[in-house]
Amino acid sequence: MPAEKSSSFLEIDHVIKRFSQRKSGFWISLIGRRKPSGFVSAVDDVSLEIKRGQTLVILGESGSGKTTLGRMIVGLEKIDSGLISLSGDPVRFVRDRGVNRGKLQMVFQDPGSSLDPYMSVASCVAEPISKFGLTKLQVAAKSAESLRLVGLEGDILDRRTLELSGGQKQRVAIARAIISDPEIIVLDEPTSSIDVSIQAQVLNLLIDLQRIKNLTYVLISHDPNVAKFMADNIAIMHLGKVVEYGPSASLLSCPKHPYTKTLLASAPKLGSTLPEGVVGAGDPQSIILLPKGCRYESRCQFAMEKCREKEPPLLPLKEEPEISVSCFLYND
C-alpha cells in the first residue's frame, strides 16, 4: 500500500514467488534432464506494510500463498522478485548466514513436527540463542525468562517435547520464538491444530506477549474469528494475490470483494444456519492454469465481461482510502 513510508516497519514491496513445475516419471528421472514445464505463481506481486507493534492477519484458503508469503518474510524462502525490508534493511534468504539473526522468528502450524521430539523443553527453548556467543548463565537466564512468559514452569522443563500436549507444545514453540528478542514473529496458523478449549489460552498469551515485548505479528489464518481477535489490519489473499486489504474492523464488518464476502460467510458461526446462496459454487480456480482476467471470475456471481479480459488492480477505495480492493465493482 503506498501510504506514508516513514511509519512502516516491515515493508513488502512487489514480491513475487514462483515454484517451477517439473515433469517427473521413471524415464525422465533416468535421462536426468528435468526441465521446468510450467510455473505456479504462489505469491504474485504482493505489496503490504506493517507498523511496529501491530498485527497483520493474512486470511485465505489453502493454495492462496499465505504460508509462502510468511516464509519469505522470515527468509525461509528465496524471493524471486521484489523486496521485503525490515526498518529499511532487506530481509535475506536464511542461507546467506547471519544477516537477519534473531530478528525474525516463525511459529509453525504443527508444533508436533516443528519441535525436536527428543529434546527436553529447556534445551529446545535455549537452542535458538546457543550460537549467539552468550555464556551458559546468560542462556539459562534468558530461557527461564521466556519460559516464564509463556507460562511453562516446574518439572515440565525436563520433559521431552513429545510428551507434551498440543497446547503445551505450541507454548514451547512460542517460547522458542521469543527468546532471541525478535522484532517480527510470523505465526502460521498457530492454533489450527489445537482444541478450541486451548485455542483461547494461546491467543490470550500471544496478545499478552505482544503488549509486553512490543512485538509485531504477521498471523496467517483461515479463521475469521481468530483474525478479528488478533488483527489490526487484514489482508485477504486469493491465489497468490491480495484481493482486499484494510483495517480489521471495517474489513470484517463491511467486506467489499466478493471473495471476502464468501470467505466470511462460509465460516461457521454459532447459532446460524449454513449460508446458502452466498457460498460460491464450484471449486477454486487451478493455480497452474491461471486466466488472464480476474482469478476469482469463475466462482464470482458478479462476474462481468471486463473481469474475463483484464486483471483488476488493487486500488484504494475513493470514499474509504484505508481499504484497498482489487475488483472492478469498486474501481474501473
Element (H, E) at 167: helix 166-178
Beta carbons within 10 angstroms of residue 194's beta carbon: 19
Identify the residue whose cell numbers are 462476474. Answer: 303
262 binds other proteins (CB under 8 A): yes
Q: Does 271 bind other proteins (CB under 8 A)?
A: yes
Q: Does 296 contact other proteins by CB under 8 A?
A: no
Verify binding: residue 232, other proteins, rule CB under 8 A.
yes
- Which of 30, 31, 137, 196: binder of other proteins (CB under 8 A)? 196
Work out which of 8, 41, 55, 143 binds other proteins, going by CB under 8 A: 55
Site string for other proteins, 199-218 (x = CB under 8 A): xxx-xx--x-----------
Decide: is 289 part of the binding site for other proteins (CB under 8 A).
no
Number of residues forming the site for other proteins (CB under 8 A):
48
Q: Does 225 bind other proteins (CB under 8 A)?
A: yes
Asked if 123 interacts with other proteins (CB under 8 A), we say no
Q: Which three cell numbers stand for residue 245?
A: 486489504
Whether the CB-CB separation of 120 and 155 falls below 8 Å is answered with no
Asked if residue 198 binds other proteins (CB under 8 A), the reply is: yes
**Using CB under 8 A, which of 65, 70, 128, 167 touches other proteins?**
167
Span interacting with other proteins, options 133-141, 160-168, 178-186, 312-320, rule CB under 8 A: 160-168
Is 140 a binding residue for other proteins by CB under 8 A? The answer is no
Residue 159, all three cell numbers: 520433559
**Residue 147 Cα distances to 122, 131, 135, 151, 160, angstroms:** 8, 19, 18, 6, 15
- Which member of 223, 250, 290, 291 binds other proteins (CB under 8 A)? 223
Among 230, 235, 242, 307, binds other proteins (CB under 8 A): 230
- When asked if residue 284 is in the footprint of other proteins (CB under 8 A), the reply is yes
Q: Which of 147, 101, 104 is nearest to 126 (CA)?
A: 147
CB of 275 to other proteins, least distance (A): 6
User: Does 281 interact with other proteins (rule: CB under 8 A)?
Assistant: yes
Task: Measure the CA dihedral 252/256/262/265, to 10°.
Answer: 30
Q: How far is the CB of 263 from other proteins (least distance, A)?
A: 6
Q: Tell the residue number behind the cell numbers 466462482, with chain if given.
A: 299
Classified as helix, coil or strand, 204 is helix
| CB-based burial label for 23 (10 Å; 0-12, 13-18, 19+) | exposed
Q: In the beta sheet, which residues pair with residue 244? A: 236, 325
Cell 507434551 -> residue: 164
Minimum gap (Å) between residue 225 Cβ and other proteins: 4
The CB-of-215 to other proteins minimum distance in angstroms stands at: 14
Longest dimension (CA), the chain: 67
Of residues 159 and 306, the one with the C-beta less far from other proteins: 159
Cβ neighbours, 10 Å, residue 293: 19
Query: What DSSP assignment string belongs to 262-317?
Result: HHHHHS--TT----TTTSPPSPPPPSSS--SS-TTGGG-TT--HHHHHSPPP-EE-
Binding test (CB under 8 A) with other proteins, winner from 53, 90, 112, 275: 275
Question: Rule CB under 8 A: which residues touch other proteins?
Answer: 55, 61-62, 165-168, 195-201, 203-204, 207, 222-223, 225-226, 228-232, 248-249, 262-263, 265-276, 279-284
